[in-house]
Amino acid sequence: MKNVNYSREHIAYLKKQKRKKIIILLSRVLILIAILGIWELCAQLKIVDPFITSSPSRVAVTIGDLYKEGKLFYHIGITLMETLAGFAIAVVLGYAVAIVLWASDSVRKIMEPYIVVLNSLPKIALGPLIIIWIGTGYEAIIFMTVFVAVIVCIMNMLAGFIEVDKTKLLLMRSMGASKAMTLRKLIMPASLPALMNTLKVAVGLAWIGSIMGEYIVSKAGLGYLIVYGGQVFKLDLVMTATFILCVLAGGMYGVISLIEKFVNKH
């Protein structure tokens, strides 16, 4: 759209907002560069022991070695598959359960203490039981991912449903709208910000769950590389897998942020 369609003040405001976004992006990049630079400098000057902390240059070499051996994308692919599967199941299941709890005050009051207790359980401690119940394959890791993320998804979405404007709810009821119609026409559209926040939280929890699962039972994946590297004191491998995890988690969060911007525009 051409600038002639805007007032001078509005054009100035848009330019200011654009500059602000650029400054934020540049600040993020500069902070990352500074962290990597300080890390590398400390390792090169032996301020820290590079055998223990590794360094960006050693991480880059390790990534190259994994690629040459044909292992890099293999391990990334496995962890990514487990994380995405667990993330999707946790979000869909959490959304569905939140709808059920919203629809019935009695069910919500009955189930609320159980949800709180499940959320407080130390998930890693249940690892041996999960192996016995599910087995030692990818299913156990995906189950762990869902188990870590689903309760928070339920609680976040339920809070989003409950916080919908009470005046609008009263208006829907006064017009004779059913629970299903109220959910479809009011609750779901109004709770989109809560859904976006839930997706952002679930991203981090899904990665935590998948890595926890790979710590307990795995023969491949980034979590496996971290465990294996620690066992044989290949700490460059540990830091490399951790760095790749950070990149993947950041990328996944970025995708969710783009989806949020698209939703907000429409």
Q: Are residues 111 and 32 in the same domain?
A: no
| Three-state SS at 191 | coil
Q: Residue 135 sits in which domain range?
A: 58-265
**How many whole angstroms separate alpha carbon 207 and alpha carbon 202?**
9
Angle at 215 between CA 85 and CA 49, to 5 degrees: 120
Q: Are residues 28 and 65 in the same domain?
A: no
Q: Are residues 44 and 74 in the same domain?
A: no
Q: Which of 155, 160, 185 is nearest to 172 (CA)?
A: 185
Q: Are residues 219 and 147 in the same domain?
A: yes
Determine, yes or no, domain membership for 134: yes
Determine, yes or no, domain membership for 16: yes
Q: Are residues 129 and 252 in the same domain?
A: yes
pLDDT in tens, the chain (266 residues): 444 566 777 777 778 888 888 998 899 899 999 999 999 899 888 888 888 888 899 999 999 999 998 889 999 999 999 999 999 999 999 999 999 998 888 888 888 888 888 888 777 777 778 777 887 778 888 888 898 889 999 999 998 888 887 888 788 788 877 778 888 888 888 888 889 999 999 998 999 888 888 888 778 888 889 988 888 888 889 999 999 999 999 899 889 988 888 887 76
Distances (CA, A) of 236 to 137, 215, 230: 27, 18, 9
> What one-character-per-residue DSSP string does 67-113 give?
HHTT-HHHHHHHHHHHHHHHHHHHHHHHHHHHHHHHH-HHHHHHHHH
Q: Are residues 44 and 95 in the same domain?
A: no
pTM of the model: 0.82
Determine, yes or no, domain membership for 53: no
What CATH code is carried by the domain that includes residue 108? 1.10.3720.10
